[in-house]
Amino acid sequence: MRLSHLLTRFAVFVFVALVCTFAARATVRVVEDVSVTSVREELVDEGLAWASVLGDGLQLVLEGQAPSEASRFRAMSTAGRVVDASRVIDNMTVAESDAIEAPDFAIEILRNDSGISIIGLIPTSSDRESLANRLAAIAGDAEVADFLETADYPAPPGWRGVTDYAIRALRLLPRAKISVSAEQIEITATADSPERKSELEAELARNAPSGVARAISITAPRPVISPYTVRFTRAADGSAEFDACAADGPEPERQIISAATAAGFEGRSPCVQALGAPSSQWADAVSTAIEALGELDGGTVTIADADVTLQGLETTDAETFERVAGELENALPEVFALATNLPRPVEQTPAGPPTFTVTRSPEGAVQLRGGIEDDLDNVTAENYAAAKFGASNVTMGTRITEGLPQGWSVRVLAGIEALAQLSQGSVIVRPDSISVRGKTGQVDAPTIITTLLIDKLGPTEEADLDIEYVEALDPTTGLPTPQECVDQIGVVTQGRKILFDPGSASLTSDSQAIMDDIAEILQKCPDIPLQIAGYTDSQGRETMNQQLSQDRANAVLDALRVRRVPISAFTAEGFGEADPIADNDTADGREANRRIEFSLLERETEEEQTGLEQMEAEAAAEGEADTETSAADDPDAEIEAETSEE
């Protein structure tokens, strides 16, 4: 009985234990399921669906790849708000973050009469102080507003070239906006005149960085023309041409050219858009006059300010001419007045009409031949030609002639002035016409000549122009290349020496003529990257020789500056006794090694120099050479000017 009683109690205990165990497990499973479900729902609500939740008894395991460390922390915090944070196990990973991309470096420079402002982002490695000094030198007394920021990233490829080019451009442009990035440079500027606009475009095209897109827009104010002139000629065969053309805008120009095309004109518009039109109806008056000329068998129509002159040919029917003239007079706008001229054959004397000829050779020699009224007019013509071409270039072959037409001396002076617009050619003056033939580097030379003939001789003057534009004669396109400039320096210094006082950097008086010749060449070579290198022989201490060579290179640079050579792109560097070109053990060899070399600078790689570091080097070259002169053990310090190509 007693043993049975004990067994019964043990069995009950075991049963109760088993029931409690199963109940506990069931409770844990319920708590686990509820916790997992609650945490998962909360994570989804917070936008953290990437995280998965696993139950492990009363503990919760968070797994998954978090896009960032911040997202991982948010997932842990979210789970900790639902259950006890101590029950949450972090088994999450964080995705590798992409490398932070370098920012887009860019600067924008504005320059006007009040100063310079610069804004943008540049690499930290750039020498900001040097850039500020460069801008201050350009601004002069005006203010420089610096709003640049920096970022500690490597300078992108091409950054050096565009920043250097931008500073060069800023020197040329007193009113400009320059936008710079590593891939492109945009320049918007204004010029004082169309001629200056052409010069700036030519200069900006030189030494432009390769591989960088350039967008350059330079505007110039329209010139003022007086008298405001259009001259249109139509030949008997139906061909037509402009001797001069002025329009007060794009639309008036199109209207004039349209009327001229209908009258037989072919080719591109020669019209100059300019100020000075006498009326807002200028284009209406011009096109109406050209249309009237188209009804004749040929002739010329000249509109000078508000005066319109219609001239027919000797073969033009008088009745037709009168009809066309009457219709034109009534069709012209109110402010315009019409004059007509219908020439008839002139009886010629056996000797022919008097002529006066002025010729100019390609070498610049000018000769005047033909009849002149009296000694006073002859002296006047000679002095006028001397003023235009130089007295040493003028040869007189004139003769005093009686019976010349009235106003002959005025016609002679007008012919001389017309020839001055040509690089070579001839002008033949007759009583009823002036013939101009030749070549020029001015695109608008025909317009200039026609305008001055009308101004001097009147709108009915018959002018026969045959003028050829030659690009090689244009001063804006005939500039030498950088290498040609250095080659020319080699020519003028061949067999000549730039001399210095012994042991110093002072140029001798004998060297001034050589410097004048070099300066004359470099004035035609703006902004070429030129290095002026100084060398010595091996006598004396090495440090003193290096300093002496630097001082002498600076002295040459200063001599060019005094001669008004643009030296912003030049550098002066002393190399001491390095790179000898002859034996220092002989007197002749030492003399050869004491030299100045002019050479073109090669563009360096991005690793060698950043853009702003190059600016600093150029700024140093532009500064005044104020270092103390050191005397080397060199009794006869002569430097030979040579050229070399790197």
pLDDT tens for 47-85 read 888 888 887 767 878 888 888 888 888 888 888 888 887
Distance CA 94, CA 420 (A): 82
Distance CA 411, CA 431 (A): 8
Looking at residue 477, its pLDDT comes to 62
Looking at residue 130, its pLDDT comes to 80
What does the CA dihedral 199, 202, 208, 212 come to, rounded to 10 degrees? 110
Lowest mean pLDDT among 112-116, 148-152, 373-377, 640-644: 640-644
Q: What is the DSSP string of 503-526?
A: TS-PBPGGGHHHHHHHHHHHTTST
- pLDDT mean over 558-582: 87
Contact indicator for 456, 429 with CB cutoff of 8 Å? no
Q: Which two tokens stand for residue 172?
A: 């040329």
- pLDDT mean over 185-198: 84
Contact indicator for 68, 93 with CB cutoff of 8 Å? no
Please name which of 535, 439, 503, 531 lies closest in space to residue 633, comparing C-alpha atoms. Answer: 503
Distance CA 301, CA 437 (A): 21
Q: 399 Cβ partners below 8 Å, 6+ apart?
A: 370, 371, 372
Question: With the C-alpha atoms ordered 154, 156, 157, 158, is the resulting torsion angle positive or negative?
Answer: negative
pLDDT in tens, 370-412: 888 888 888 899 999 988 888 888 888 888 888 888 889 999 9
Distance CA 7, CA 66 (A): 59
Q: How many Cα atoms within 13 Å fall on the side-chain side of residue 438?
A: 28
Lowest mean pLDDT among 209-223, 261-275, 333-347, 594-608: 594-608
Contact indicator for 338, 369 with CB cutoff of 8 Å? no
Q: Is the pLDDT of residue 541 over 60?
A: yes
pLDDT in tens, 482-526: 888 888 888 888 878 888 877 788 888 888 888 888 888 888 777
Distance CA 186, CA 188 (A): 7
Q: Could you say which DSSP state residue 632 is in?
A: -
Please name which of 532, 519, 527 lies closest in space to residue 481, comparing C-alpha atoms. Answer: 527
Distance CA 175, CA 138 (A): 12
Helix (H, G, I), strand (E, B) or coil at 361: coil
Q: Is the pLDDT of residue 625 over 60?
A: no
Please name which of 312, 310, 311, 303 lies closest in space to residue 335, comparing C-alpha atoms. Answer: 303
What does the CA dihedral 496, 497, 498, 499 come to, rounded to 10 degrees? -130
Distance CA 487, CA 599 (A): 9
Q: Is the pLDDT of residue 618 over 70?
A: no
- Mean pLDDT for the chain overall: 81
- Burial of 49 (C-beta count, 10 Å sphere; 0-12/13-18/19+): exposed
- Burial of 598 (C-beta count, 10 Å sphere; 0-12/13-18/19+): buried
pLDDT in tens, 411-453: 999 999 999 989 889 999 988 889 999 998 888 888 888 888 8
Distance CA 193, CA 473 (A): 20
Q: Is the pLDDT of residue 567 over 90?
A: no
Looking at residue 23, its pLDDT comes to 61
Q: Is the pLDDT of residue 613 over 60?
A: no
Angle at 253 between CA 251 and CA 259, to 5 degrees: 105
Identify the helix (H) or strand (E) that includes residue 304: strand 299-304
Angle at 214 between CA 210 and CA 219, to 5 degrees: 140
The letter for the amino acid at 149 is E
Output 631 or 220, whichever has higher pLDDT.
220
Q: Which two tokens stand for residue 544?
A: 């003193």
Please name which of 642, 569, 623 lies closest in space to residue 601, comparing C-alpha atoms. Answer: 569
Distance CA 91, CA 69 (A): 13
Distance CA 75, CA 90 (A): 9
Give the model's confidence band at 617: pLDDT under 50 very low, under 70 low, under 90 confident, else very high.
Answer: very low
Q: What are phi and psi of 353, to 5 degrees?
A: -70, 155
Helix pair angle (250-262, 282-293), 10° resolution: 10
Q: 438 Cβ partners below 8 Å, 6+ apart?
A: 360, 419, 422, 423, 424, 425, 426, 466, 467, 468
Give the model's confidence band at 167: pLDDT under 50 very low, under 70 low, under 90 confident, else very high.
Answer: confident
Give the model's confidence band at 611: pLDDT under 50 very low, under 70 low, under 90 confident, else very high.
Answer: very low
Question: With the C-alpha atoms ordered 14, 15, 20, 22, is the resulting torsion angle positive or negative?
Answer: positive
Distance CA 378, CA 400 (A): 8
**Could you give the domains of the chain?**
22-94 (3.30.1340), 106-205 (3.40.1520.20), 229-341 (3.40.1520.20), 356-473 (3.40.1520.20), 482-643 (3.30.1330.60)
Contact indicator for 79, 43 with CB cutoff of 8 Å? yes
Q: In 46-150, where does DSSP find H-type helix?
A: 69-82, 128-139
**Alpha-carbon Rg for the chain in angstroms:** 43
Q: What is the DSSP string of 313-332?
A: -TTS-HHHHHHHHHHHHHHS
Contact indicator for 292, 322 with CB cutoff of 8 Å? no
